[in-house]
Amino acid sequence: MATYSRLPGSVALITLQNPPVNALSAAVRQGIVDTVQRALKDPKVTSVVICGQNGRFCGGADIREFAGPMLGPPLVPMIHAIEAVDKPVVAAIEGVALGGGLELALGCHYRIAHSKALLGLPEVTLGLLPAAGGTQRLPRLIGLTAALDLITTGRHISAAEALKLGILDQVTDSNAVDLAVDFVRSVAGQPLDSRRLSTLACPCPPDVDSLLDKVMAQVRQRSRGALAPVACVQALRAAATLPYTQGMEKERDLMATLFNSGQARALQYAFFSQRVVGKWSLPSGANWNNSTGRTISKAAVIGLGTMGRGIVVALALTGMSVVAVETQEKQLAEASQAVPAMLQREAGRRSLATPPGVITFSSNLQDVSEVELVIEAVFENMALKLQVFRHLASVCGPGTLLCSNTSGLDMDQLAAVTKSPALVVGMHFFAPAHVMKLLEVVCGPRSSPEAVATAMQLGKRMGKVSVAVGNCPGFVGNRMLKPYLEQANFLLEEGATPQQVDEALEEFGFPMGVFRMSDLSGLDVGWRIRKEAGLTGPGVEPSRTRQGRRYSPLPDQVCEAGRLGQKTGRGWYQYDGPGGRVARSDPWVHIFLEAYRAQHGLVARSIAPEEILERCLYALINEGFNILQEAMAAGPEHIDAIYVFGYGWPRHRGGPMFHAGQVGLGRVLERLEHHHHNHPDVPHLEPSTLLRRLVAGGSPPVQKWREFINKDRVHSQL
């Protein structure tokens, strides 16, 4: 709703009220329409200020309402009516003015903001465009070039930047509403024509067409199949080339197409998934709301390889002091050069309010005795990690939280060698750890609510999307990746080339196909994990089966040929040299694949992109159903957030579990059955019991899956 009050000096104050972000729900829109009418009719009112309750102007349209029928007054005529009012209307912006919130402000005659306010038109991130006149008014106010940037990226900007761009008229460090009230009194009675943005011409550079073509090309390349950024450019072309009324018609038509697209639903689901995962819970009943984490001010990181360095930077960026330990002198010397430079770069990029914490480098594990939390980030080797944990247990006090940045090893085994297993949790970062948004917080069977809460809070402080997961091999992300990678290798055995597999996945929307990604991360990484699992290495027979299941030794053989990927200039592709970035097809790989197939009596066949996608993606999704069944993830949103934020799953496809729902669970089941029939020696293709149960239950939407997940799970940890 919106409240109305009359202040001394003939000012009407309209306050939007819909906590927590004063989203423009039907009730709020109705409230605005009614209160604006009241101000208009009241002869004692000469001017109007619109603000939001609790220091937040408006977070835009109420996204939750998008799923249902449109009720209440629509935004477009409401904003038109405000613009047409013949008494000055000022938007007093505190907190946020986003999406429809900023569009409402653009319909006002003046905009005044607090210096800490954030403004933006993030609709594109929800698969939409600013369709309450945003694509037509903003470019008329700040020019086409700046509007293209803001609307196609959806980025939030500071009040200072908004002032510079001309979106704001004034910025204040004190109360924005008070300033707006004073200001509006001072402009009462002045002409308003030039303040009505819809009546202005759109400032454009001389060569509008070439600018729009250039931006369209950039957007298409960046968006990897997403529709909304393209529609944003089309709407802005209309703003630059058509009168306002026709521009609005174009905006409306484009919005109608987007609004009903699967992509908008997927992106809105991704928005809420990101928030759902913050609300973790454990089977004990402990959850985000009833558990208190510790506030960490001093932490340590053990191991300063690529991951450890990134973690040190991520921690220091929160302002805490960090002890960075590396026992190998050469590695320590390199890290103590590299880490401060990384920190400086990242702090500059983020324009931080808090100065970064102090980092102390040491080769002595004893130096972590005073810290409150330790993150071990040594090599992915259980014996080594156990050794470090034993050492930590003797060096640190019994109240120190001990975390491991393992990507899939048993956290409970590590907890068992410590004095306080309840204070042990996994913190699985993704490379580069100071940049990547995802953090898997691995809850072992003995992890206490306090330990989980501390790790989740710390993740949030580092700006991560933290997802609590259960303790199983590979946790959630890497466990699902395994059948995906396995299928990619099988497809090579059967006749595909690395390029064909990568192209199908990139066309789907992944930034990189599996083989390009493997070259980037290094083929030795997976090889070492497989060696640790006894699947490869000296003494292991190079056959195509392991423990009665199909196995492809292809990646082992490529790695053992010294082709480690980009770092050696050769992997699944060839590069210009070690460290090269541009992948080119390598005749060596094709000859190698032919020889391999001949050696194993395999006859190459032509494989369609559809089969590549089905086999890779449905195998991954199937494992997601197993994970849900075993409660290693609390819900499909958790898996989807992990894949969107950590594994490059295209956001406009929501995540693997959401995608399964969009494809149709029945279809996914049928194709898995088909592929399992053709490959009975691949257990990962055998449809999950949960998937079968969901299909038998009428394929409910993803939000209802929890009702079908077996309550008497064997391994329940979440």
Instruction: By CB under 6 A, name the binding residues for ligand L4473FGL.
Output: 20-21, 23, 59-64, 75, 96, 98-100, 122-123, 126, 128, 131-132, 272, 275
- Quickly list DSSP for 498-513: HHHHHHHHHHHT-SS-
Q: State how far the Cα of 105 lies from the Cα of 169, in Å rounded to an integer.
A: 11
Token digits of residue 280: 């973790």
Check: CB of residue 116 under 8 Å from CB of residue 159. yes
Sheet holding 2-7, edge to edge: 2-7, 11-16, 47-52, 89-93, 110-114, 170-172
Q: State how far the Cα of 356 lies from the Cα of 367, in Å rounded to an integer.
A: 21
Q: State how far the Cα of 458 lies from the Cα of 441, in Å rounded to an integer.
A: 10
CB of 123 to ligand L4473FGL, least distance (A): 5
SS3 401: strand
Check: CB of residue 183 under 8 Å from CB of residue 174. no
Residue nearer to ligand L4473FGL on the CB measure, 75 or 144: 75
CB of 126 to ligand L4473FGL, least distance (A): 5
Residue nearest to ligand L4473FGL (CB): 99
Residue nearer to ligand L4473FGL on the CB measure, 96 or 409: 96
Task: Report the 10 Å Cβ neighbour count for 517.
Answer: 20
User: How many Cα neighbours within 13 Å face the side chain of 66?
Assistant: 25
CB of 17 to ligand L4473FGL, least distance (A): 14
CB of 272 to ligand L4473FGL, least distance (A): 6
Check: CB of residue 456 under 8 Å from CB of residue 438. no
DSSP 8-state class, residue 61 = B
Check: CB of residue 661 under 8 Å from CB of residue 504. no
CB of 76 to ligand L4473FGL, least distance (A): 8
User: How many Cα neighbours within 13 Å face the side chain of 288?
Assistant: 14
Q: State how far the Cα of 46 lies from the Cα of 571, in Å rounded to an integer.
A: 72
Q: State how far the Cα of 423 lies from the Cα of 416, in Å rounded to an integer.
A: 11
Q: Which residues pair with 324 in a beta bridge?
A: 301, 361
Q: Read off the amino acid at residue 130.
A: P
Q: Read off the amino acid at residue 646.
A: G
Q: State how far the Cα of 399 lies from the Cα of 296, in Å rounded to an integer.
A: 12
CB of 36 to ligand L4473FGL, least distance (A): 18
Q: State how far the Cα of 509 lies from the Cα of 342, in Å rounded to an integer.
A: 30
CB of 334 to ligand L4473FGL, least distance (A): 37
Task: Report the 10 Å Cβ neighbour count for 423.
Answer: 23
User: Mapped to the 3 state alphabet, what secondary structure does 343-400 carry?
Assistant: HHHHHHHHCCCCCCCCEEEECCHHHHCCCCEEEECCCCCHHHHHHHHHHHHHHCCCCC
Closest CA relative to residue 549, chosen from 699, 355, 684, 348? 684
CB of 645 to ligand L4473FGL, least distance (A): 15
CB of 652 to ligand L4473FGL, least distance (A): 15
If you compute the radius of gyration of the chain from its CA atoms, what whole number of angstroms results?
28
Is 123 one of the annotated active-site residues of the chain?
yes
Cα angle, residue 315 at apex, residues 310 and 319 outer, rounded to 5°: 135
SS3 547: coil
SS3 428: strand
**Catalytic pick from 83, 94, 103, 326?**
103
Is 103 one of the annotated active-site residues of the chain?
yes
Q: Read off the amino acid at residue 254.
A: L
Cα angle, residue 25 at apex, residues 23 and 29 outer, rounded to 5°: 105
SS3 19: coil
Q: Read off the amino acid at residue 21.
A: V
Q: State how far the Cα of 1 lies from the Cα of 11, in Å rounded to an integer.
A: 20
Residue nearer to ligand L4473FGL on the CB measure, 262 or 278: 278
Q: Which residues pair with 112 in a beta bridge?
A: 92, 170
CB of 355 to ligand L4473FGL, least distance (A): 23
Residue nearer to ligand L4473FGL on the CB measure, 291 or 406: 291
DSSP 8-state class, residue 584 = B
Q: State how far the Cα of 342 lies from the Cα of 329, in Å rounded to an integer.
A: 20
Cis peptide before 432 (omega within 30 of 0): yes
Give the catalytic positions in this structure: 103, 123
